[in-house]
Amino acid sequence: MTTLQATFCGQTYDNPFMNASGVHCMTTAELDELANSAAGSFVTKSATADSREGNPEPRYINLALGSINSMGLPNLGLAYYLADAIKRQTETPDVPFIMSVASYKGFDEYVDNMRQIQDSDYTGLVELNLSCPNVPGKPQMAYDFEDTARLLIEIFSFYTKPFGVKLPPYFDIQHFDKIAAVLNQFDLKFVNCINSIGNGLYIDEATDTVVIKPKGGFGGIGGEYVKPTALANVRALKQRLNPSIEIIGTGGILTGRDAYEHLLCGASMLQVGTQLQKEGPAVFDRLNAELRHILETKGYTSIAEFKGKLATLD
């Protein structure tokens, strides 16, 4: 019998599929829909200390080959997601999920948010988003290796619960080496590769204009456009990180084949953003069926038989 079971951070999931943070995860109602879908798990919208409206609309557009967004961290605030998470943890302890946490103001807010979670009853996984590309005037934290190290030193000085980080895409071998060297100094449970490719620009052919309002049209690119970059980041980080740090693969998963390729590169869980936005939670039924068919065609009975085993030509 073929199983799609995934093991991740000491837990077993029916399958490796999740939403990517930002898609279908703003409210308790949306999170319930994910919990009741065929996804193996789910993650909440990145929370800031206070609730936020986000950037002006239009701020998300689907494109033929993916999406562009400059949402600007709209969310209901950390207290909302923390209360929701603690309730879920109590009522459905057998359905593990991830809480995503970000910062709008920078370093101190990241620390304060993690302190609030440390002081709460929530004991589950946290994904610390170091890679939002859409806050006007603020850089993506994880492109600054020193600041990232400083932030993690500060958080690990008090935080004792399991957490991982969401990374932006890197495009240079030296940058893979550098971020891995930073992350390997800490007892991180996972890294998530990749966030959207920041600050792309899409031009509408009919009107010669940009398609989203914030930042003059610049926004994070997701979907089919980003798969080769996502696969490279999953693979490069898997090759460099301590074996105890697991990988979530995110970027360009439209089909079972895309999911299979992320697993070949070493991902343990798989997040779907743009395609979930386009297709709704039923995407998880399709992806499960397509991935299962690939395993059966290739004669595998479990993901462990091929995870991380990408072949090279040397």
Instruction: State the Cα angle at 296 between 291 and 301, rounded to 5°.
Output: 95
Give the x/- contact pattern for ligand RRO in 14-33, rule: CB under 6 A: --------x-----------
CB 81 within 8 A of CB 97: no
Answer yes or no: 265 catalytic: no
Q: Which among 151, 94, 93, 102 has a CA at the least distance from the CA of 122?
A: 93
CA angle 196, 167, 228 (to 5 degrees): 55
Torsion angles phi and psi, residue 230, rounded to 5: -65, -45
Query: Site mask, ligand RRO, residues 72-111, x = CB under 6 A?
Result: xx----------------------------x---------
Of the candidate residues 15, 19, 195, 288, the single one contacting ligand RRO (CB under 6 A): 195
Considering the complex, what minimum distance in angstroms separates the CB of residue 132 from ligand RRO?
4
Write down the least CB distance from residue 129 to ligand RRO, Å. 5
The rounded radius of gyration (Å) of the Cα atoms in the chain is 18
**Binds ligand RRO by CB under 6 A, chosen from 9, 39, 68, 71:** 71
Q: What 3-state DSSP class applies to 29?
A: helix
User: Which of 148/195 has CB closer to ligand RRO?
Assistant: 195
Report the nearest approach of ligand RRO to the CB of residue 50 (Å).
Answer: 14
| Least distance CB 15 / ligand RRO (angstroms) | 24
CA–CA gap between residue 233 and residue 176 (Å, rounded) = 8
Q: Catalytic pick from 25, 132, 193, 265?
A: 132
- The answer to whether 167 and 195 have CB atoms below 8 angstroms apart is yes
Nearer to ligand RRO by Cβ, of 167 and 231: the residue is 167
Residue 87 CB neighbours (<10 A): 11
* Window 44-63: residues binding ligand RRO (CB under 6 A): 46
**The only residue of 19, 37, 113, 134 in contact with ligand RRO, by rule CB under 6 A:** 134
Residue 294 Cβ, how far from ligand RRO at the closest point, in Å?
A: 28
The reply to whether 140 sits near ligand RRO by the rule CB under 6 A is no
Strands (E), 96-207: 98-101, 125-129, 163-167, 190-193, 197-201, 203-204
Which of residues 66, 164, 220, 251 is near ligand RRO by CB under 6 A? Answer: 220
**Hey, is 273 helix, strand or coil?**
coil
Catalytic residues: 132
Residues engaged in binding ligand RRO (CB under 6 A)? 22, 46, 69-73, 102, 129, 131-134, 195-196, 220
